Amino acid sequence: MESSFWSRKWDVQQIGFHQNKVNPLLIKYWPSLNLLAGCEVFVPLCGKSLDMCYLTELGHKVQGCELSEVAAKQFFAENNLAYSMTPLVTSKGQLSKFDSARVTFYQGDIFTLTANELPSLSAFYDRAALIAWPESMRQAYVGKLAELLPPKSIGLLITLDYPQEAMKGPPFSVSDDWVLANMSDDFEVERLNCEDVLPSNPKFVDSQVPWLTESVYRLTRKG
């Protein structure tokens, strides 16, 4: 989606995608990654997700990337976190860096972020980033993620799959076949779980989507 679409959503607070609690799939499956407590975790298109607070409670340092300045400021305000904000010019463009003790936000277009800003990553968490992109833009995001992550980085990916013609995204449908076909060049892919979640998603029920599944993957950056 164009950046103006997401900026407008945050400006008018049409943020139904934001969850008011920690994602239960993160709680259930993150331990299976067997990561050290102090490792740095990248969270792309992070919004103001409480999942980041949960990751810091596990001892991780979180590096988030978020387009909206509104989302960044709300995250720090709502979680009572003091931060400093500085402009940052990368080789690909300009960002704003919101920095606190355990969470750093790179606010701006993810495609202007480079690996130089994230030298110590060893993990990542994608709950709502991959499914935020229409198929025409999704492969570019996968390439960017692979560019930012060093070899052997381990992450958790959560996707939704449903008949795309039944409802206009976002969130967009991402099938298991798509993940395997388009991410296997850069990542070792293991699906940890897949389950029917239609009954618990009234937006999809109201749109008469006939089925909806949610999948959890363990991804390891190759190289």
Q: At 109, which CATH number?
A: 3.40.50.150
- Is 55 inside a domain boundary? yes
**pLDDT one digit per residue (tens) for the chain, 223 residues:** 566 776 677 667 766 666 789 999 999 999 999 999 899 999 999 999 999 999 999 999 999 999 999 999 999 999 999 999 999 999 999 999 999 999 999 999 999 999 999 999 999 999 999 999 999 999 999 999 999 999 999 999 999 999 999 999 999 999 999 999 999 999 999 999 999 999 999 999 999 999 999 999 999 999 9
Is there a contact between 216 and 191 (Cβ–Cβ < 8 Å)?
Answer: yes
**pLDDT for 10:** 66
Strands of 84-90's sheet in order across: 84-90, 93-99, 103-107, 61-66, 40-44, 121-126, 154-161, 213-221, 187-196
Q: Taking the model in full, what pTM does it have?
A: 0.95
Residue numbers of the domain that contains 172: 150-223
Is 95 part of any domain?
yes
Task: Give yes or no: residues 50 and 8 share one domain.
Answer: yes
**Judgement on whether residues 45 and 96 belong to the same structural domain of the protein:** yes
Q: Identify whether residues 164 and 121 lie together within a single domain.
A: no
Q: Tell whether 139 is covered by a domain.
A: no
Domain co-membership, 4 together with 49: yes
Per-residue model confidence (pLDDT) at position 19:
78
Secondary element (H or E) of residue 98:
strand 93-99
Domains: count for the chain: 2
